[in-house]
Amino acid sequence: MCPALDGIRILDMAWFGPGPFCATLLGDLGAEIIKIHEPYPERRGGLIMYAFPEAPDFPGQRNCKTMGLDLKAESGRGIFYELARTADVVFESYRPGVVKRLKVDYDTLKEINPGIVYTSLSGYGQDGPYRDFVGHDLNYISIAGLLGLTGPPDGPPVIPGTLVADFAGGGMAAAIGILAALMAREKTGKGQFVDVSMTDGIVELLFLWIAPYMNYGIESKRGETIFTGKYPWYNVYETKDGKYISVAAFETWFYANLCQLLGREDFVEYQFDEGPKQDEMFRYFKQTFMTKTRDEWVEILRSKDTCVAPVNSIDEVVNDPHLLARGMIRELPHPTMGTVKQVGSMLKLSDSPFEARNWATRFGQHTDEIMHQLGYDGERIHALREEEVIS
């Protein structure tokens, strides 16, 4: 069995949020990830340390190597150019224009390596009136419309429980773009530039609500769509033990089963009613779900197909028997900690299974190894470290 991306080398200059997530996806598929960071990241006030701490009880990022390199120094850029000649992908998440000032942009690197796939990930993209605005996940989902659609109709917008723009609109989208560009290179022999905007990613994820507005003038509002709480059969309910259960009986046959198990078959013909009957259904569902515990209701409603699930806490997630069986929560061998618990890979390939090949547990951990591969001897490496070009 061979890793799917075996032989693909990626130079990763993206250290926060979506960058490590993209690197994890591609590294888990077998790509060699070399994370390039400035030699002494504490110069940024230590903030970066929170993204990738050196604490002895922190396992670090799997399937990547780290190298401290000063791209502002001419000799540092020279080392980067040498790496770029051997790389398939360069990935960065600086503000637009920074890599051009550093002279490590796509136009520069494609002259060195015409086959390079160069990916820039930013909040708003490399062009457009917002390109230079700073922001974070919350800002991107605000601009893209997701935040405005999230929450109850009679309350303020609710912040989602994960960084949707960073991880789905950014890191995952970047991984898809990189894989597509690598496939295109197989046909053309040429690399290309991949411009990933986290805001763009969220806009596309909202196609189900945006397209009806553009074509039919149907405007979706918070808590008032089929999938955001408009109907009692696609909703969340509190149970007797103070926990919550999710019900998503969208198809008519699932809805009919739900009504039967809740003792109200007379509701079946009113699934899409928007009058008094719907109000009655909401009241009944809320009162009824409060009569038993969450797990009791899950057992009852799973006796027939009703599309029901417990609203799990993180503690319950990491102990869920299905997720354990699927390898989404697993113990992995670690070079200094014996074993560590990690979230597994969502990508399950029959002939290219996921494995943890290496770990990066501190900044600059693999600098010497990489420099030796480039042909630098110990004396030259020591001199460059003294000059603070590498770390």
Catalytic residues: 136, 166
d(CA 64, CA 370): 12
Answer for the pair 146, 199: CB distance below 8 angstroms, yes or no: no
Amino acid (one-letter) located at 76: G
Cβ pair 53, 15 in contact under 8 A:
no
Is the separation of the CB atoms in 9 and 42 below 8 Å? no
Residues 6+ apart with CB under 8 A from 8: 26, 30, 31, 32, 88, 89, 182
3-state secondary structure of 330: strand
- For residue 165, give the nearest of 132, 135, 193, 194 by alpha carbon: 135
Longest dimension (CA), the chain: 84
Rg (CA), the chain: 25
Residue labelled with tokens 């929450």:
151
- Residues 73-99, buried b or exposed e (16+ Cβ, 10 A)? beebbebbbbbbeebbbbbbbbebebb
**What is the rounded CA–CA span in Å between residue 34 and residue 369?**
11
Long-range contacts of 298-304, Cβ-Cβ distance < 8 Å, separation of 24 or more: 298/245, 300/261, 301/247, 301/258, 301/261, 303/261, 304/257, 304/260, 304/261
Give the full edge-to-edge strand order of the sheet including 308-310: 234-238, 244-248, 308-310
